[in-house]
Amino acid sequence: MSLPVLITGASQRLGLAMAESLLDQKIPVVITYRTYKPSVASLKERGATVIQADFSTEQAIDRAIAEIKAINKSYRAVIHNASDWAIDDKYENKDQLMAYMMRIHALVPYRINLALETHLTNHNLVADIIHMTDYVQETGSEKHMAYAASKAALHNLTLSFAKRLAPKVKVNSIAPALLMFNEGDSDHYKEKARTKSLLEVVPGAQEAVKAMRYLMQSEYITGQTLHLDGGRHLK
């Protein structure tokens, strides 16, 4: 039987698409979710193990890690997708905002990776850790400064864990720009968004799924970032 893949933040968008793709391949999936959505029930019906975890406190992180470790003694991969795209101006307390962003995007992956080191290395397969970072980790963001800084921290953790866990675990990042729209986005916004990349498309969540598959199937990539930005960095 295949070893399970853990995906944090898999109730919607990219995380949901990756979980569904793995289940389609009959690969066991363990997901965490912050807020219940019908998609969680759908994943559970398909055989996924689901864990409610908001990672809001040290105790919540400890509890989630204990549950993850208890579910299985070994894991094939861990995909860190839990995220919050916080806008700086909406938070009056900037200290709390930065601490929150760093906790979700850097501390949680750091804690989980360390806690699951044995679970990822106690079998004969080469395991994977995939960090879902962001295009803005290298460009910065005027409106999402704390978010961008925390994603840059996660990128750095990719490098550190790649060194620490080789050769038993490959550790890489996927750094998407805009891959999919939200419900309610206007036609004007969509048209403007498409022109931000050279390829002038918003390809959808399957672009992240393809990147996940590529990294998990590769035998010779670690400490790298796959940039899913349609050439946006050249505009």
Q: Where are the beta strands (DSSP E) in the chain?
A: 5-8, 29-33, 49-52, 77-80, 127-132, 169-176, 225-228
Dihedral over Cα of 185, 187, 189, 193: its sign: positive
Dihedral over Cα of 201, 137, 34, 160: its sign: positive
The greatest distance separating any two alpha carbons of the chain, rounded to the nearest whole angstrom, comes to 51
Q: Nearest-5° angle of CA 95, CA 62, CA 93?
A: 10
Place of tokens 């959808």: 204
The catalytically annotated residue of 147, 189, 214, 220 is: 147
Instruction: State yes or no: is 33 an active-site residue.
Output: no
Rg of the chain over Cα atoms, rounded to whole angstroms, equals 17
CA–CA distance, 131 with 129 (Å, rounded to integer): 7
Q: Determine contact, residues 44/23, Cβ cutoff 8 Å.
A: no
Neighbouring residues of 163: CB distance < 8 A, sequence distance ≥ 6 = 223
Residues known to be catalytic: 147
